[in-house]
Amino acid sequence: MDETRWGALKWGTYAYSFGHRLVVIRKARGYSQEVLAERSGLHRNQISNLERGTSNRAPHVADPLLSTVYRLAGALDVPPAYLLPDLRDPVATASFEQSSPAELSAVEEALRDLLDGQAD
């Protein structure tokens, strides 16, 4: 990991958390990557890279612009905060959401609950 770019922050864990949230919400909405790309004005490859937490450019870790986060949130009809990991905690070296499969499952359940609540 390029510590000159992100300091001691293990950005990859946050990128993967963001990607996991994006996949969960996209699938809950019933959208393919192609549909989300069309709705957001992004390219399908960009959606795929964000979901996998990867980038084609060194250091090969996704680092979306804030405008990208808002475009995705708008296309998914969710608040931008739904896409951002670990919002309730001070920034840690690594995303807590990536600490275990149980944490990933808890995120999925919480997101589905939030999305179900939106439908009411």
**Full DSSP string of 34-65:** HHHHHHHT--HHHHHHHHHTB-SSTT-B----
**Tell me, what's the pLDDT at 4?**
56
Q: What is the pLDDT along the chain (120 residues), one digit of tens a residue?
A: 445 566 677 888 999 999 999 999 999 999 999 999 999 999 999 999 999 999 988 888 999 999 999 999 999 999 999 999 988 888 888 898 888 888 889 889 999 998 988 776
Q: 104 and 18 in contact (C-beta within 8 Å)?
A: no
**Tell me, what's the pLDDT at 50?**
97
Q: What pTM was estimated for this model as a whole? A: 0.87
**Tell me, what's the pLDDT at 60?**
85
From residue 89, alpha-carbon distances to 11, 86, 97, 100, 117 in Å are 16, 6, 11, 17, 23
